[in-house]
Chain A
Amino acid sequence: MKVRVVRNILEANDRIAEQNREMFDQNQLFVMNLMSSPGAGKTSLLERTIDHLKDRLRIGVIEGDIQSSFDAERIAQKGVQVIQINTQGACHLDGNMIREAVTQLDMTDLDLLVVENVGNLVCPAEFKVGEDMKIMILSVPEGDDKPLKYPLMFTLSKALLINKIDLLPYVDCNIERIREAASRLSPGIAIFEVSCRTGEGLEAWYDWLERRVKSLN
């Protein structure tokens, strides 16, 4: 005998993410879920973004790491609120981890909360944390075939930063190919070609982010 069920496997996480979202909205807090492969430059982007925007936005960070707290220490030096989540080996952050982490933050004193997800192009895509938007970083040494190899993450992202463009002369990567695939997967996606090492291209990103955060507040 078959018993009809028809339930989403991720319903529990979706429900918690929805509650997180309501809590963030009540606190007028804009939440960005930042995703990439390991080493694509999430922490460097964050350092630069904080330096540039911290006088105009009150920024907090949740750092998801499989083990070390090295990234969190780098961010803490910027003088913003940082919470480290050690995922104990898990390959993604979920709604529950974020719900627990924010109890250690003063949300009323923040405009923007950045959730730096675990470096991984697959798993974080399926797990909502209650964010207003997902943002991706792809670095040019990773190659231009990534959007079609990991379509889900690109499909869900509102912005894509193509990082390490200072390395373009040395790697085999066609930026146009990335732009085209990403735009098809996520129509209207904002794409920024940047170098977090030299600072090139980041002004447009800062402006875009600030406008997004302020339109909510």
Chain B
Amino acid sequence: MSFMHEMSLAQNIVDIVQEEMTRHGVEKLQAINLAVGRMAAVVPQHLTFCFEIITENTGLAGTALHIREVPLTYRCLACGHEFTADEMAFICPECSEADPKLEKGRELTIENIEVAD
């Protein structure tokens, strides 16, 4: 089921990247660098797999898809403490108030593309 979901994300990546390549007059890429939040509904391996399938026999074939996983980053609204967590956090480890706000972890971003030499 979730394969189809990463499939549409992979297609969106290809569309955006091709647009950027045209805009910058780039013909061949070495890599695409993504930031994917831990909270995003994405399995990185599925995304890589779908990207490979979609780009097969296209100009993007062989382009590496690098995924930087962004940890959940919270800022406590009570004391201002910033912290990262592997799982959802509901309590500030510094002041024990139940006021942490998720600041990072939902990213689904193409950060940059690396041009092949």
Residues of A near any B CB (own CB < 8 A): 1-13, 89-92, 94, 120, 122-123, 125-126, 148, 151-153, 155, 184-185
B108 CB-CB contact with A under 8 Å: yes
Which residue of the partner chain, among B2, B106, B108, B110, contacts A91 with CB atoms under 8 Å?
B2
In the bound complex, residues from chain A placing their C-beta under 8 Å from that of B106 are 152
Given contacts A122-B41, A126-B41, A148-B88, whether A7 and B110 have CB atoms under 8 Å apart is yes
In the bound complex, residues from chain B placing their C-beta under 8 Å from that of A185 are 88
* Cα-based distance from A10 to B5 in the complex (angstroms): 12
Enumerate 9 A-B pairs (CB-CB under 8 Å) in ascending A order.
A1-B115, A3-B20, A3-B114, A9-B9, A9-B16, A9-B34, A90-B5, A126-B42, A155-B39
| Minimal beta-carbon separation of B16 from chain A (angstroms) | 5
B79 CB-CB contact with A under 8 Å: no
Q: Main SS of chain B's interface residues? A: mixed
Once A and B bind, how many residue pairs between them come within 8 Å at the CB atom?
90
Which residue of the partner chain, among B40, B41, B110, contacts A5 with CB atoms under 8 Å?
B110
Known: A13-B12, A91-B5, A123-B4. 18 other contacts (CB 8 A): A1-B114, A1-B115, A2-B113, A3-B112, A4-B112, A5-B17, A7-B109, A8-B108, A9-B110, A10-B9, A12-B12, A90-B8, A91-B1, A122-B5, A123-B41, A126-B5, A126-B40, A126-B41
* Cα-based distance from A184 to B106 in the complex (angstroms): 17
In the bound complex, residues from chain A placing their C-beta under 8 Å from that of B115 are 1-3
Query: Which 6 pairs show the lowest CB-CB distances between chains A and B?
Result: A123-B5, A9-B108, A91-B1, A1-B115, A2-B112, A5-B110
